Copies of this chain bind each other. A is one copy, B any other.
Amino acid sequence: MTQLKTDAYIRDLFEFLSIPSISAQKKHKKDMLKASRWLEKKLKSLGFQVKILPTAGHPVVYAERLPKPSAHRHTLLLYGHYDVQDPGNLDEWSSEPFKPEIRSGNIYARGAADDKGNFYTWIAALEELSKKSKIPTANIKFLIEGEEEVASKNLEDFITQNKSLLSADICLISDSRCLSETQPAITYGLRGILYTEVHVEAFEKEIHSGLYGGNVTNPTIVLAQIISKLKDEKGKILVPGFYQNVRKLTASEIKKLNKLPFGEKEIIQETGAKKSFGETDYSIPVRAGARPTLDVNGVWGGYQGEGEKTIIPGKATAKISMRLVPNQDPESIKGKFEEYVRDITPDTVGVEIKFLSSGKPTVMDIDNKFFKKADAAYKKVFGKKPIYELSGGSVLATAAIKEILGVDSILMGYGLPDDGIHGPNEKFSLTMFTKGIKTNIDFLKSL
């Protein structure tokens, strides 16, 4: 294969990365539109017909390039998302999150790996083929949403309403990772999610800790007690019935997963943890992909300023999310979670439980012929067959695409374990960027 026009693609991608399209924050609504228009312009330049379609939230960018019909023509659905996570504390970033730059072989920016850069490998692959007049024979449809980072709130409705528009034989998603620059991976299962906010209120306003301390409850302590009853000190989730429908893995699945190079060493290297922590009955790769979790994503209440403030806070809040695995049903878990939290909340406080979003877990059929083609493309570019992984993350689109459209998704992602997605200094490896474009080209040519 000849040299790619990598420099031009990087310049182009940098434009896309510069748009702070943070879907969770209302103040970035204009940036969301800007990012969708950027995609519209880009895909039009590649000969696609593009529509920016409204949803109850941020719009979906839909694009299609359908050669004249042929009975043997395959239809690909390329899924990606143009929204990104909030960059968090800017002090922890070495360069500004929305001013992309290259340092030692990596692109640093919010969204570099998740998902703008990762997804851009498909755009670059199509552009590359266009330049060489090797237009793929397959029908290609793009479904690029703006709400992946807020649990694809409106995607299920959108897919339901646009079923025929989105019909396809296979969906391709580059929103996952390989194990290293030399070991490719295909994700064949993803966890679902249930994201909640628990609000505990004891007083309308904070009160004096000297005058009332000893005679009233403390909502931050009550919230701590609730949290400590959600998960025990061995990592077991205590919500009754939580594990009820968790699919048991087959012995051969466990064996395959346990071959993954994801153990104590990798956990420590990638996260900086002192050691791993989790259910001792399961191995690290099994825990990562096939076991549900419960985590507090944020907690606050009372005085957070400098020095002392001698008050009892009036309220306390925690953001608590659960990652779900097949065959847990988010709706059923929602009921169990709410009932349990109400049950363990003392009558000295009021409690409100908000459900921010939810999405179902999925597992794909890897015997699908398109998996074999993806497998071959990886083999050709990386020189190694991909490992099949159950990811701990959630790409909620996969469940909706499977359930509503009846289409499996192949997660051909080019991130790396140390990309730091969702955290500060998110990066995307230039080597993976190039290999990703090449793998996509190969896959497209194989159809």
Contact = CB atoms under 8 A, between A and B. Distances in A.
Contacts of A276: 215-216
Contact of A212 (B149, B191, B310, B392): B392
Nearest to A231: B221
Which residue of A204, A228, A318 has the most chain B CB atoms within 10 A of its CB atom? A228
A191 B391 CA distance: 54
Interface in A394-422: 394, 417, 420-422
Contact of A308 (B150, B206, B393): B150
A312 interface: yes
B323 A209 contact: yes
A424 interface: yes
| Chain A facing B: main interface SS | loop
A225 B288 CA distance: 23
Contacts of A235: 214
B275 A348 contact: yes
A90 to B, nearest CB: 13
A297 B309 contact: yes
A209 B294 CA distance: 9
Interface stretch (A45-53, A68-76, A298-306): A298-306
A295 interface: yes
Interface in A5-58: 23-26
Contact of A296 (B85, B302, B394): B302
A348 to B, nearest CB: 5
Interface in A200-241: 202-218, 220-221, 223-225, 227-228, 230-231, 233, 235
Contact of A211 (B195, B211, B346, B392): B392
A323 B213 contact: yes
A394 B211 CA distance: 9
Given A203-B272, A212-B271, A291-B214, A309 B303 contact: no
Contacts of A191: 210
Given A272-B203, A275-B347, A278-B214, A300 B297 contact: no
A267 interface: yes
A170 to B, nearest CB: 23
Contacts of A292: 214
Interface string A323-359: 1000000000000000000000011111000001100
A88 interface: yes
A172 B225 CA distance: 42
B304 A202 contact: no
A423 B224 contact: no
A230 B221 CA distance: 9
A356 B307 contact: yes
B417 A211 contact: yes
A86 interface: yes
Contacts of A423: 205-208, 311
Contacts of A302: 296-299, 319
B298 A301 contact: yes
Contact of A309 (B85, B306, B347): B85
A273 interface: yes
A316 interface: yes
Contacts of A117: none
A265 interface: no
Which residue of A235, A295, A309, A393 has the most chain B CB atoms within 10 A of its CB atom? A295
A305 B25 contact: yes
10 contacts: A86-B305, A92-B205, A206-B423, A207-B270, A207-B420, A210-B393, A216-B277, A220-B299, A297-B308, A309-B422
- Minimum-distance CB pairs A-B, first 6: A210-B393, A298-B302, A24-B307, A224-B227, A298-B303, A213-B293
